[in-house]
Structure 1
Amino acid sequence: MDLHLTDEQRMTKEAARQFAEQELRPIVRELDKEHRFAADAVRKAGELGFMGVYIPEEWGGAGLDVLAYVQVMEEVSKIDPGTAVVISVNNSLVCDPVLKFGTDEQKETYLKPMASGQKLGCFCLSEPSTGSDAANQKTTAEKKGDRWILNGTKNWISNGREADIALVIAMTDKAQGTRGITAFLVPSDTPGYSVGPPEDKMGIRSSSTTQIHLDNVELDDSHRLGAVGEGFKVAMATLEGGRIGIAAQAVGIGQGAFEEAIRYSQQRHAFNQPIAQFQGLQWMMADMETQIQAARLLTWKAAWLKQSGEPYAKASSQAKLFASEMAVEVTRKAVQIHGGYGYVTEYPVERLYRDAKITEIYEGTSEIQRLVIFRQLLKEY
């Protein structure tokens, strides 16, 4: 693994940095306060190729690689993790499985407009009573003649309010357990498809989170993604890749908070000197930066394994586990370094602290990551 970014990856990183500075920094406080989706910025992200970073150009994407995608996620997350997760969901949780499991017709119909940013996707796995226990699906898809009838409610759906296309996981044969689950691509304008009100969240407020209701949603077989009974495989494979995006989001959050903290420590004076001169804070910031670098290396390794076609399930879980817990710890310390100013919304560290917590929860909690890692270890030893 070469730790030097290619020219293309560096250019992508710089483009993402400029995008975040110009399109998001001026409005990020308002987005957070108003729980507002950054529609213009997301449209611009599509124009820049950020909505399908590693999707081939023939299917509407930028044709780059997974490590370039990680650069986009890091840079955007430094300023607005909410908009970053909009990008992540579209790339990792919808475009990626359609690329991997979809037919050419499905790629033409669904992947192209999503990867190019013309349409937005969401991933519907969790349910009101089914989070980490993803195999216990209550949403059903019943075959009637040549049609599928979907019924159920999906919960905690990122991009739910704005999505044009939903990747829905549903039970088609309960007796078969995980082999009785199937994936479907559902346009949001399909009769019977409805969206609940957005959740009033602690953080990532520029990304909507809603329920999705399916009431006798009728689809023909062209909407089925992958084989009948392959839906659990689709979901788990999708989450493996999605964890790389969330790990990169967490790295970006940590980096953004660290940069705010070290800048503040040099500007803030106490006892006739900058607080950066106090050894206690120096040690704190040295630990923060070391944790960020370690999380970044784990994340880049997972990205490199994925783009190399190597197994990466353990690596992506390790990256997400370490990076998410790092982000929570680093943002907490960044608030502490700011003192009282870190507790008010005028300073970005307050918001980044709130934004960081979700990285330990969605796309598999830290507890689930530890289970995944250990199960992979058993295969190795």
Structure 2
Amino acid sequence: MSTFGTHFRVTTYGESHCLSVGCIVDGCPPGMALTDADIQPQMTRRRPGQSAITTPRDEKDRVEIQSGTEFGITLGTPIGMRVMNENQRKQDYGNQTMDMYPRPSHADWTYLEKYGVKASSGGGRSSARETIGRVAAGAIAEKYLREAYGVEIVAFVTSIGNEFLFPPSPAHPTCATNPEYLKLIETIDRKTVDAFLPARCPNDECSKRMVKLVADYRDRQDSIGGTVTCVVRNCPSGLGEPCFDKLEATLAHAMLSIPATKGFEIGSGFGGCQVPGSVHNDPFIKAPAIPPGAIDHPAVPRPRLTTKTNNSGGIQGGISNGAPIYFTVAFKPPATIGQAQNTATYDEETGVLEAKGRHDPCVVPRAVPIVESMAALVIMDAVLAQQARTAARSLLPPLKGVVPVLGGSKEADGA
């Protein structure tokens, strides 16, 4: 369906070449300052036409809040947001060749099989243009998380094709054991990431190689994929709803709902399967009273323990443990390419398709704010669920002799 979330619910609408795209956000807490200016920066980071290695479609993606606020303050009612499509070119898809063929690896055929009808231009609802609503909603969620908890969410490009920011090695089959990677996870910010445009890979030499690689594929009318890594810092502990809505499960759900995604790994990921438990386990240590960058507020619980290492990626048993949450999302090469491809028509006749239109040779750099936004939606939904549980529990008389308390006395442990 087109709705994501339970407590912070986001419904997106719109197709690639319709009049407008946008979303409705239900469940935003009242009393938060919010204007178009709070949302626009992420919209601008996502928009097409940013560089020579992205689609040349020129959209400004100006967001307009339609409802749910008054005098720049959220009312607690549904927030409607709209972005007008200003640079549609349906004619790119209205030629006989494009009408005859479902594009290889695109959603043309599967949408037709599912609905019995499909949008005639730009992939319709399967287009990455649909993600505008996600990014707008994510900006709202992120503002609340930042102001209430000091949460920071930063994504960056870690590979394009065979160019890796941190190539796997025998010493470090997973980035989770690489000190350079872990330092980056702790310190990276969006200003630094965007200083490496257009690749958004925070390493000068690697970024230059990535840009050249994408340009080479673009010039050959081809495409290439890659990966985006995201870190969530200062996330409250205790988030996640086992058993089926574990925090890593909802993150995976969110990330794999983004167009062109084909893989998700959290913490040590697949490389972690190559190290023994004695290396992979995360020993507990006493946590600092206030984590760096976090907000000191009585309503914000602080864990008494943290972990010395973080192979778990900040989540254990499906519940956040207060350490940074980090994960990586894999994006396939964009399906629409200008090269001639042997394929079949809708009428089951073999033929050759040379697709037309304006498309990214690599979606990975523009996917960075989309990944950040979906992470914000997941954390926001989990925060509201936990707030409800905590508030309900606070109204009950305290339990004695059942729940372990600070110090772990025998009496407190129920012995």
- State the TM-score, normalizing by the size of structure 1: 0.28
- The structure that has the greater radius of gyration is 2
From the two aligned structures, give the one with the greater helix fraction: 1
Q: TM-score, normalised by structure 2?
A: 0.27
Structure with larger RCO (C-alpha < 8 A, sep 6+) = 2
